[in-house]
Amino acid sequence: MPGAAHDDHDDGDDDLEVTDPRWWELRRAQNLKPATYTCPLCGRRLQSMTDHVLLFPEGDHSLRRHAHIECVGRAREAGRLPSRSEWKRTQPRRPWFRRSG
């Protein structure tokens, strides 16, 4: 599960633990610097300068995580990384009241 593993990279952007976000923002990315990260989904390293996915729990960019494209695909298929729109569809609708008059 995202947030369970910590990165080996030391710039501070991936060492925060995330607990049970309701939804995730996902963005495809590529390292443009020679940095190595640890995928929070499998615990293996992401090689520097490779395509991967950035995960933002509930859209919080300060808690971003770097993950393998394949790991994200498997987690999405298993329903473990819902997008905001997917999560919203599972929520009760707010009542809509008509104004009288």
Tell me: the pLDDT tens digits for 39-81? 999 999 998 888 999 999 999 999 999 999 999 999 999 999 9
Q: Is the pTM of this model over 0.75?
A: no
B/e letters for 14-45, b = 16+ CB within 10 Å, e = fewer, are beeebeebebbbeeeeebeeebebbbbbeeee
Band of residue 20 on the pLDDT scale cut at 50, 70, 90: confident
